[in-house]
């Protein structure tokens, strides 16, 4: 079975390369932006028509949450229109599409973990751009696509909250981290394993699914755990979102209910702290 992974140089793309050997039945082809630039529609069509994969996993995205407030057009193109074109090409070549989306499509006003059918009202430009991509896939290729919303993704690769915290904790005596935004971290290795396991699952079920590590924490809790595991001597103070102003608004609650992907595809859902400890051994 031939799988093309786009966004191969990103943290999820690199984690998929890390775990690919766990799936010997899958022939994975990893394409970075240089070989498959989502916004160059002709290039995308040409590359995928030539490779004719059975699956395309889209790990490419514009992920700069705060910058997106200023770069809305770029975010909407890469996370929106380009995803629509990718869906069309996948449909043309009869390749199934797995597309990764985000918890930031929700407005954060819920008090229970979000299920896939809950109303979406993104509060920031990044979340809005990711929602455009979801909606285009549903319009253009609903029966051939799996959309996996995830949250708070980190790994040894690329830029993420864990690596930001480790850097700041080495530089500063104390830092402030918000304790009024609640969600679930996701180790990109766990997500990578889940996405590839969907490709080799005997039954294909299209639709929207949620995937994150289990457990509900704040970014402050996350930072405290990072400090404890790292042994770094930096004071972590709990602050409010108002005390940490950012260009983008973020949902106060973006916990995802992951039951559907577990029952449909049997994906393993490791507990957040166990996965964090795994990742920290590599950092
Ligand atoms: N990080 C997180 O916390 C979360 C991420 N997600 C989603 O998970 C997916 C993977 O995210 P993650 O790995 O963390 O993101 P990264 O920012 O680490 O990687 C994104 C990759 O997309 C590539 N890319 C950007 N624009 C294009 C383009 N026009 N064509 C091809 N590739 C492009 C980037 O290329 P280059 O390296 O050249 O810049 C980069 O390698 C994304 O869909 C994201 O929205 C969802 C929830 C949380
Ligand atoms: C660095 C830092 C951040 N924060 C706050 C800011 C923000 O509210 C929260 C998270 O910070 P970051 O900007 O690192 O995380 P952010 O880029 O918002 O992470 C998001 O990325 C996108 C791609 C997603 O899809 C989301 O699921 C989510 O993972 O922590 C502090 O309170 N103190 C700090 O020192
Ligand atoms: Mg970020």
Backbone region of residue 32 per phi and psi (left: phi > 0; alpha: psi in -120 to 50; beta: other values): beta
pLDDT band at 258 (very low <50, low <70, confident <90, very high): very high
Considering the chain, what percentage of its residues have pLDDT values greater than 90? Answer: 100
Q: What is the pLDDT of residue 186?
A: 99
Point out the catalytic residue in the list 126, 154, 187, 211.
126
**Average pLDDT across the chain, whole number:** 98
Query: Ligand 1 centre and the CA of 41: distance in Å?
Result: 18
Q: What is the pLDDT of residue 244?
A: 98
Residue 135 to residue 36: CA distance in whole angstroms:
22
Q: What is the mean pLDDT of residues 264-280?
A: 98
pLDDT band at 96 (very low <50, low <70, confident <90, very high): very high
Pair of tokens at residue 162: 């864990």
154 pocket-lining for ligand 2 (C-beta < 6 Å): no
Q: What is the pLDDT of residue 72?
A: 98
From the CA of 148, which ligand is nearest? 1
Q: What is the pLDDT of residue 219?
A: 99
Residue 37 to residue 25: CA distance in whole angstroms:
27
Q: Nearest Cα to 251, choosing from 169, 155, 132, 149?
A: 149
Q: What is the pLDDT of residue 261?
A: 98
Q: What is the pLDDT of residue 188?
A: 98
DSSP state letters, 89-144: HHHHTT-EEEEEEEGGGS-S--SSPBPTTS-----SHHHHHHHHHHHHHHHHHGGG
**Domain 2-160+185-215+255-270 is in which class?**
alpha beta
Residue 248 to residue 125: CA distance in whole angstroms:
7
Q: Which residues contact 251 (CB under 8 A, 6 or more apart)?
A: 103, 104, 106, 107, 108, 123, 127, 181, 183
pLDDT band at 57 (very low <50, low <70, confident <90, very high): very high
pLDDT band at 142 (very low <50, low <70, confident <90, very high): very high
Backbone region of residue 158 per phi and psi (left: phi > 0; alpha: psi in -120 to 50; beta: other values): left
Residue 32 to residue 15: CA distance in whole angstroms:
13
- Mutation to probe ligand 2, out of 133, 147, 219 (largest number of atoms < 8 A from CB): 219
Q: What is the pLDDT of residue 172?
A: 98
Per-residue pLDDT tens over the stretch 208-248: 999 999 999 999 999 999 999 999 999 999 999 999 999 99
pLDDT band at 152 (very low <50, low <70, confident <90, very high): very high
Q: What is the mean pLDDT of residues 184-204?
A: 98
- Mutation to probe ligand 1, out of 8, 33, 45, 63 (largest number of atoms < 8 A from CB): 63
Which position has the token pair 């008090």?
111
- Active site (annotated) includes residue 62: no
CA angle 160, 40, 26 (to 5 degrees): 65
13-27 per-residue burial string, b: 16 or more CB within 10 A, e: under 16: bbbbebbbeebeebe
Q: What is the pLDDT of residue 170?
A: 98
CB atoms under 10 Å from CB of 106, counted, come to 25
Q: What is the pLDDT of residue 253?
A: 98
Pair of tokens at residue 142: 């609903």
Mapped onto helix, strand or coil, the DSSP state of residue 207 is strand
Q: What is the mean pLDDT of residues 130-149?
A: 99
Which atom belonging to ligand 1 lies closest to the Cα atom of 60?
A: 22
Which atom belonging to ligand 1 lies closest to the Cα atom of 9?
A: 41
Q: What is the pLDDT of residue 118?
A: 98
Write down the domain spans for the chain.
2-160+185-215+255-270
Residues with CB under 5 A from ligand 3 (ion): 65
Residue 53 to residue 8: CA distance in whole angstroms:
16
Which atom belonging to ligand 1 lies closest to the Cα atom of 159?
A: 18
Distance (Å) of CA 51 to CA 20, 39, 174, 204, 265: 18, 19, 51, 21, 26
Q: What is the pLDDT of residue 271?
A: 98
CA angle 183, 184, 187 (to 5 degrees): 145
11 pocket-lining for ligand 1 (C-beta < 6 Å): yes
Q: What is the pLDDT of residue 139?
A: 98
């Amino acid at each position: 079975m031939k799988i093309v992974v786009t966004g191969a140089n990103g943290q999820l793309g690199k984690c998929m390369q890390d775990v690919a050997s766990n799936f010997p039945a899958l022939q994975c082809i990893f394409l970075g932006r240089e070989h498959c630039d989502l916004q160059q529609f002709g290039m995308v069509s040409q590359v995928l028509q030539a490779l004719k994969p059975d699956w395309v996993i889209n790990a490419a995205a514009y992920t700069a949450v705060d910058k997106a407030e200023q770069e809305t057009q770029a975010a909407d193109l890469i996370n929106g229109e380009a995803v629509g074109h990718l869906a069309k090409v996948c449909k043309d070549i009869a390749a199934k599409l797995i597309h990764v989306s985000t918890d930031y499509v929700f407005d954060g006003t819920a008090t229970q973990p979000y299920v896939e059918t809950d109303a979406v009202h993104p509060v920031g430009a990044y979340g809005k751009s990711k929602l455009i991509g979801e909606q285009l896939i549903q319009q253009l290729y609903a029966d051939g696509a799996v959309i996996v919303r995830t949250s708070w993704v980190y790994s040894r690769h690329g830029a993420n909250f864990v690596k930001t915290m480790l850097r700041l904790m080495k530089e500063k005596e104390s830092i402030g981290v918000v304790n009024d935004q609640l969600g679930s971290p996701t180790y990109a290795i766990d997500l990578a394993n889940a996405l590839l396991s969907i490709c080799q699952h005997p039954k294909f079920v299209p639709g929207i699914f949620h995937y994150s590590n289990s457990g509900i924490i704040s970014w402050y809790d996350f930072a405290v755990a990072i400090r404890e595991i790292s042994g770094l001597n930096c004071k972590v103070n709990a602050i409010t979102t108002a005390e940490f102003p950012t260009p983008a608004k973020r949902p106060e609650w973006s916990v995802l209910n992951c039951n559907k992907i577990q029952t449909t595809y049997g994906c393993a859902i490791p507990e957040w702290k166990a996965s964090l400890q795994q990742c920290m051994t590599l950092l």
